[in-house]
Amino acid sequence: MQARKEDKIMKKIENKFIENKAMISKAGKGNSTVILYLDGNNQKVEKLISNNNFTTANAEITKNLQREIRNTVNECQRIIQKSERWKYVNYNPIAPTMRGQVKLHKEDTPIRTIINWRNTPGYKLA
């Protein structure tokens, strides 16, 4: 019975966020959680991307890099045993993804970028 009541409360909170076009995010430093309006957050992300000349990568680059890494690992027969090669190749790789956390301690609350490299082709090889 208690779980249903909590589910209803959580659904109401979720609907409030949707209605007000807001989101919950972790702050850049410390152990803080912040509520952000999506419009303001999207503007900050767009500003960050335009100011730093980011470009999007297509999937073909990731596939080509994965193929080159596999070929290189396979060519290193004296260094890497055949039974150990799987440790150096990331299966189903993707391009690195970026997310941002708000820097509450700075004026205008800019975004701290965080890049996830874990699923990229060269992560295990590095």
Between 32 and 15, name the one with better pLDDT. 15
Domain ranges in the chain are 2-116
Averaged pLDDT score across all residues of the chain: 85
CA-based Rg of the chain, rounded to a whole angstrom? 21
Model-level pTM? Answer: 0.64
The answer to whether 125 and 100 are in contact (CB under 8 A) is: no
For residue 19, pLDDT beyond 90:
yes
Q: How many CB atoms lie within 10 A of CB 73?
A: 19
Between 79 and 3, name the one with better pLDDT. 79
For residue 61, pLDDT beyond 80:
yes
Q: What is the DSSP letter of 105?
A: T
CA distance 68 to 110: 38
